[in-house]
Every structure is written in C-alpha cells, then in structure tokens.
Amino acid sequence: MADINAVAEQRSQDPHIYRADPPPAPKLRKAWQLLEQYSHVPASEIEGHVRDVRDRAWAVFPYNCIGRWRFLDLYITTLPQYPELLRRLTHENETLLDVGCCFGQALRQLSHDGAPQQSLVGSDLRKEFIDLGYELFRDRDTFKGRFVAGNMLDPDDASVKGLDGTVDMIHAASFFHLFGWDDQVKVGQRMVRFFKGEARAMIVGRQAGTHEAGGFAREEGKRYIHSQQSMRRLWDEIGNRTGTKWVVEAELNDSLNDIDDLHNDGREGEGEGKETGEDKEREGRGEGGGRAAERGEHEERKRGMTIRFCIRKVIG
Ligand SMILES: C[S@@+](CC[C@H](N)C(=O)[O-])C[C@H]1O[C@@H](n2cnc3c(N)ncnc32)[C@H](O)[C@@H]1O
C-alpha cells in the first residue's frame, strides 16, 4: 500500500475524486438541516465546519465519498425502505447496524427522524472517521448510539465479533464495492452472523453498479462491481455458505438522476468504483464479467451507475 499522503496528494489532482469546495448549499439542504437542527451548528458556521472535518478526513484516507463531499448526501432518506427502517427502529424495538459507517451520518439522520439512538450501531475500520463523526455532529457527549472500530474482513477481530447476534437490519452504503468477489462473500458471511437468530434480517444500501458485472483493478486491489444478476448470485453463494436463503431486490440507476451528482458536472456518480488511469487492468468474474473486462472500456461504469438494494432473509 502506497503512503497515504502520497495517495491523497495524487487523488487531490483528479476532479472526479476530489473537489476543494463543497457543492452549492441548495444541493445539501438535508445535511445543512441536520447540522443546524441536530448538531446546533449556527448556519453561518456550517460551511467552515464541514470544510474543516472533510479536510482532516481526507488526510486519514482519501475515499471518493470524502473527496467529492458525498458524505453530505443523505440519500438513505430516499430509499423505499426508509419508512420501514424508521418504523422498525421506533416501534418494534429493532436494531440497525451501519457497516462502513464513516462519520455515521446515516445514523444521525435516522436519529433526527425519530429513531431511538440506543437502537443505532455503526462500525468502521477507521476509528479516526468515527471520531471525526462526533466532531462533525457535535454529539460526543450526547449520542447514545454505539460505534465499533474493526475490520469486517478479519474473522478474529474481537470488536466486530462482539456484534454477532445483535442486529435486525444492516445499512451498507458504498461498502461492498470496495472489495473483490471473494471478500464480498466474506463480508456477507460476516453480516449473516451479525443478525439475531429471530431477526427479520434485511440489508439495504447503495453502491456503484453496472449492467455487466465484473472485477476492476484498483490501486487497493480488485473490486467487483455488480449488476442485479451478479448481486443475486453473490447472495446465493453467501446463503449456501451460511445455510440461509436471501431474496435480493436491486435497482440500477443512472446515478446522475439517482443520487444527483452533487457537483452536477455530468461526469460521474457513485465514484468509489470509478475508473481512473490506473484501472487499465480488468478482471472478469462470472456471468458477463469476462466480456466486460475484455472490452477494455466499460461505458456504464464511466457513466457512473449506482445500484440500490434490499436483501431480505427468507424465513421458515
Ligand atoms: C467509501 S466509504 C463509505 C462510507 C459511508 N458508508 C457512506 O456511504 O458515506 C467506505 C467506508 O468503509 C470503511 N471500510 C473500508 N474497509 C473496511 C473494512 N475492512 N472493515 C470495516 N470498514 C471498512 C472505510 O473506512 C470507509 O469509512
């Protein structure tokens, strides 16, 4: 792994990955409301406040969602399952885990919309992001939800293991697409263990998507980008390995409409899986992946599609 400062410096030069300035305030209405009403940041201080936290987070690890300010896109509220999440958290005493939660912005939004904080759990590899989340939302002394720093890919990580058997619902945004197929299977198996035995288990989220699934080489390793079909195949495999069965609903969207590219330059969407000059090598896996990989260009990916998903456990 290259030195993080060098990677951040290099990525700062790419406007597909990094923008110095936040998107125009009207595009961030929900985030601004959350910061004003939940975090009590005075309106005149919000921009300076988010710039400060964003810049420090970029130095921790230069994810596109940080570079492109996408953490301020509270897209979770637009999921068709959002009312169900709120109802189950608020009235049915259920628990939600946000995997790869970064600052925990989705959890703060759920809380602001009425979910009991005690029902909210976030986990992330990097404790620095969790700490910066407390700073962003100014709630270190008041937030009653829980955060766990740990590695989803390490089966022996004691912090992560501590969540086994404790949750009913999982939110995973811009998360699976960080990994190759085999690691996504591991992450899925890990998630299955998080659920309570009796849970009406459900995983919702959004990530980079494509019509022709396949693996893409990145500086951090190969990443598998899903179509609807490949996502079903993934959960069939996770189901086979865990003795469970899952129904996958997935919807591909042209992210320029779906998540509203915050900078509205018509060039990329979800971003984390976006191709860069280093993405010349491609790897095909499974149906369609090989063809897409060999073609060398991947138009859907360049257009920045996203896939939203809701994966439910078949009970009984
Ligand atoms: C692209 S960010 C997405 C953050 C957030 N879910 C969002 O939608 O804004 C991916 C997050 O996953 C975390 N992450 C990466 N690898 C991880 C791992 N192996 N275990 C746990 N978290 C991980 C990163 O630290 C980062 O916060």
Flag whether the pTM goes above 0.85.
Answer: yes
Q: How far is the CA of 316 from the centre of ligand 1 (A)?
A: 32
Residue minimizing CA distance to atom 2 of ligand 1: 174
| Beta carbon of 306 within 6 Å of any ligand 1 atom | no
Which of 110, 156, 161, 175 best tests ligand 1's pocket when mutated (most atoms within 8 Å of CB)? 175
Q: How far is the CA of 222 from the centre of ligand 1 (A)?
A: 16
Which of 65, 66, 109, 203 best tests ligand 1's pocket when mutated (most atoms within 8 Å of CB)? 65
**Which pLDDT score is estimated for 25?**
82
**Which pLDDT score is estimated for 270?**
43
Angle among Cα 91, 92, 97 to the nearest 5 degrees reads: 105
Domains of the chain (ranges, CATH numbers): 73-313 (3.40.50.150)
Half-sphere exposure of 213 (CA within 13 A, CB side): 19
**Which pLDDT score is estimated for 89?**
98
Local mean pLDDT, 10-residue blocks, the chain (316 residues): 84 91 89 98 97 97 94 96 98 98 98 98 98 98 98 96 98 96 97 97 96 75 90 98 98 63 40 38 30 39 79 94
